[in-house]
Amino acid sequence: MAERPVPVLMICPATDTRHIPAALRLGVTGCLVEGDYRDSALRSALWSTAAGHTHLSPAAAATLGGVAPLYMNRGPGRDGGRPHRLLSGREQQIMDLLAHGLRPTEIGQRLSIAVKTVRNNLSDIYGKLGVSGRTQAVLLWLDA
């Protein structure tokens, strides 16, 4: 069984957000920009990051305009930077739910399909998008 990567939540000073894209490429799974959240948002970010979800505060998400091109040029099947065209309708549903922070088990329950089917679809999606995992796929999907 493969080891699960350690979830990392980064809190970035509001005055210096230029390092967020690089941190995400290095494996940070969640990012908050200082002053862009309240205590309840911090607790939510900690819990969701610990559960393996990608969590970005609004200001952190706004800095990602330059990240997608790094992923767009990777892998086969690039379609002019439009990942939606690469995926079937079901795969698009799965990516939408994944981008909202749902785990494969929750996605399976929501779509009334087996978790194994969700995982197989995710493997296909990652291959089509030319990414290696959930965080990269979600970043690419949200930017598109």
Q: Answer yes or no: do 129 and 102 share one domain.
A: yes
Domain that holds residue 21: 9-66
**Ranges of the chain whose pLDDT falls below 50:** 1, 66-81
> Does the reported pTM lie above 0.75?
no
What pLDDT is attached to residue 54?
72
Q: For the segment 82-113, what is each residue's pLDDT rounded down to a tens digit?
A: 566 778 888 888 988 888 888 899 999 988 99
Give dist(CA 121, CA 36) in Å, integer: 34
Provide the domain count of the chain: 2
Last residue of a domain, one of 51, 66, 81: 66
Report if residue 118 sits inside a domain. Answer: yes
What pLDDT is attached to residue 99?
84
Report if residue 2 sits inside a domain. Answer: no
CB-CB contact of 107 with 118 (8 Å): yes
Last residue of a domain, one of 66, 81, 114: 66
Give dist(CA 69, CA 115) in Å, integer: 31
